[in-house]
Amino acid sequence: MHVAAIIAAGGRGVRLGADRPKQFLELGGRSILELSISALASCHRIDEIVVAVPQEHLAAAQSAWPNGGGTPVTFVAGGARRQDSVGNAFAHTSASADIVLIHDAARPFVTAAIISRAIDAAMTHGAAIAAIPVRDTVKQAGASGVDGSRPITATIPRESVLLAQTPQAFRRDVLARALTAGMAIDATDEAMLVERLGLPVHIVEGDPGNMKVTTPEDLETARQRFPDPRSPIPVPRIGNGYDLHRLAAGRPLILAGVTIPYELGLDGHSDADIVCHAVTDAVLGAAAAGDIGRLFPDTDPTWKGADSIALLRGALAHVHAAGYQVSNVDVTVIAQKPKLLPYLQAMRENLADALQVEVAAVSVKGKTNEGVDSMGRGEAMACHAVALLISV
């Protein structure tokens, strides 16, 4: 069995509002038309492809598609209407073709399974289209009133309504008759022309993923499915930070900018906020942008008693300047006393605000040291932090 495929790419795509016909817009660095041709060419059941494009794009399309092997592809000039374009392409298909398949250029996601179902049904019944069922209740409406509203005239059983897709496949003789008889009317697809002959058109299972790119929203959805490989891929960077301070009388206990009631506080040149210090080193380390000691040395009186949340904000500016932003951080505070659970949410919120991320991107946990070493004896507190950055 010889199968010829026609790609209808003769339209201007005015509904998309682009600077060129939609079939020449790119998805993932390749035009929609190129992707549609490739989808058909990859199906082993298709023996030849004829593509109808606007006359002014014919030369460019011919030069852009390599015909050095595989399924042969021929480009022809399209016409003013869809059936004109299909008719021009049909005239260039092999006379020996048993089945002629027609596909919209704006459906680059077609699969070999859909193509095969259409071919088999056309061979059996003479004409077949891919279609999908509607999911919502279908209403038939009358003419608009003076206020712009429209009355419902009927509720149509949705199981009897389907949304037509392409490919549509026909025995060659059936399509030839339909195109000849339908030249005087405007048809939205070839199945409509066959229906006017009084011949049955059978439906095969389509695929909701076999979308047609028609609107700007469709184009955005399609581009998400075909990401451009030339676009920079965010590079993750991981950094870790650690800090430890002794506990001392007469000092406030400040963790992640939260002042926690306790008889002892952390001793240090700044406010000794070990959480902010560990997170600062983690984000700076991930960006290879130094560390807290180099940016804010304890030999500089400027940082005497400094607010470590402010220091974290300053470190974040260096991270951004290096081309990164914070994805998330995970913090573990090691302290025998006091219990930190009542303060963890406020700590997360302060860190998220300083790092310019959502609170959900910040984890803070409190652990004891089970009575071991200086932290277990209540002489010191420590903090570990891990940060994940992505390039921007």
Q: Among positive and negative, which fits the CA dihedral 138, 143, 146, 151?
A: negative
What kind of fold does domain 236-391 have according to CATH? 60s Ribosomal Protein L30; Chain: A; (3.30.1330)
Domain with CATH 3.90.550.10 in the chain: 3-225
DSSP class per residue in 284-345: HHHTT---HHHHS-TTSGGGTT--HHHHHHHHHHHHHHTTEEEEEEEEEEE-SSS--GGGHH
- In 10 A of CB 88, how many CB atoms? 17
**Domain topology for 3-225:** Spore Coat Polysaccharide Biosynthesis Protein SpsA; Chain A (3.90.550)
Using a cut of 0.85, tell me whether the model's pTM lies above it: no
The owner of tokens 């070990």 is 274
Give the DSSP H/E element, type plus range, for residue 217. helix 216-225
Contact 356, 326 (CB under 8 A): yes
pLDDT truncated to tens, each residue of the chain (392 aa)?
999 999 999 876 555 666 678 888 888 888 999 999 999 999 999 999 999 999 998 988 888 787 656 899 999 999 889 989 999 999 999 999 999 999 999 999 999 999 999 999 999 999 999 999 999 999 999 999 888 899 999 999 999 999 999 999 999 999 999 999 988 888 889 999 999 999 999 999 999 999 999 888 999 898 888 877 666 666 799 999 999 999 999 999 999 999 999 999 999 999 999 999 999 999 999 999 999 999 998 888 888 989 999 999 999 999 998 889 999 999 999 999 999 999 999 999 999 999 999 999 999 999 999 999 999 999 999 999 999 999 87
Q: Where in the chain is the domain with CATH 3.30.1330.50?
A: 236-391
